[in-house]
């Protein structure tokens, strides 16, 4: 005679283990996705700040020094 209760119990244990593994993988994928999204948002914010600094420098008559990433005032008496 086939031991149906043992087969059914084994199938339930296998299903529980499979579900647990899939949930752990999904949780890990969500955490990685969230970390990448936070990094992207921080980079976009930083780029926006840099663009604003550049625009303000030019609008005030300064010269943007790309190597230093800073604004230098225009020389007195003329063009920069």
Residue 70's SS3 state is strand
**pLDDT bracket for residue 41 (50, 70, 90):** very high
Write down the mean pLDDT value for the chain. 88
Give Rg (Cα) of the chain: 30
Only one residue has tokens 């993988």, namely 25
Please indicate whether residue 1 or residue 68 has the higher confidence score (pLDDT).
Answer: 68
Whether the pLDDT of residue 76 is over 90: the answer is no
DSSP secondary structure code for residue 65 in this structure: E
**Contact partners, residue 63, CB within 8 Å, separation at least 6:** 57, 71, 72, 73, 74, 80
* Model confidence pTM above 0.75: no
Whether the pLDDT of residue 42 is over 70: the answer is yes
Residue 80: what pLDDT?
46
Angle at 41 between CA 64 and CA 26, to 5 degrees: 155
């Amino acid at each position: 005679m086939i031991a149906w209760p043992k087969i059914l119990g084994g199938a339930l244990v296998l299903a529980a283990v499979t579900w647990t593994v899939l949930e752990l993988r999904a949780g890990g994928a969500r955490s990685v996705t969230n970390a990448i999204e936070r990094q992207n948002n921080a980079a976009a914010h930083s780029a926006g700040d840099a663009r604003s600094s550049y625009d303000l420098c030019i609008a005030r008559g300064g010269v943007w020094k790309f190597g230093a990433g800073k604004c230098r005032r225009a020389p007195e008496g003329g063009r920069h």
